[in-house]
Structure 1
Amino acid sequence: MTPSWRKPAGMLAILLLILVWCVAIASLSGTIGRWHGAAQLLFYLVTGIVWIAPLKPLLRWMETGRWR
């Protein structure tokens, strides 16, 4: 059984997704830093969870080669 090219490509896509997401959220830190502490907590809690949403189809594609 030969290894699939989808797994390394998927791993790179996951790392790229994390990098882009971190840069996007960190670029907002100046604005977010002026918010109330509870609002900051809620923002970082939500954005810390939301980035996981695209991983399910990506992981499925890595395993099966299909998006659905």
Structure 2
Amino acid sequence: MRTEPTWRIPVGLLGLLLFLAIYGLVVARYVPEIIEGWPTLIQTLVYIAFGLAWLLPMRGFLAWMETGRWR
């Protein structure tokens, strides 16, 4: 267990917030134009997929924030 804070945690949180803001803006800007004519159920599934997709790289990112290594 760590007894002293590291610079990676605040930098990682700021990076995560920046990434999520950019990701959200890109999805909100471009996805509706692509899927606007699709059935509502399919649109819902697409937004669920995009809502969960940002979680994929989080395991490595959180490991880096805690240990300094990606694995």
Using structure 2 for the length normalisation, give the TM-score: 0.84
Alignment partner of 1:3: what SS? coil
Residue of structure 2 equivalent to 1:24? 26
1:50 matched to 2:53? The reply is yes
- Aligned-partner Cα distance in 1 for 2:42–2:21: 24
What root-mean-square deviation, in Å, do the aligned CA atoms of Structure 1 and Structure 2 show?
Answer: 1.2
Between the two structures, name the one with larger relative contact order (CA 8 Å, sep ≥ 6).
1
Alignment partner of 2:19: what SS? helix
Residue of structure 2 equivalent to 1:41? 44
1:60 matched to 2:63? The reply is yes
Question: After TM superposition, where is structure 1 displaced by more than 3 Å over at least 4 residues in a row?
Answer: none
Gaps of 5+ in 1: none
| Count of paired positions | 68
Residue of structure 2 equivalent to 1:10? 12
- Aligned-partner Cα distance in 2 for 1:9–1:41: 33
Using structure 1 for the length normalisation, give the TM-score: 0.88
User: Match for 2:55: what amino acid?
Assistant: I
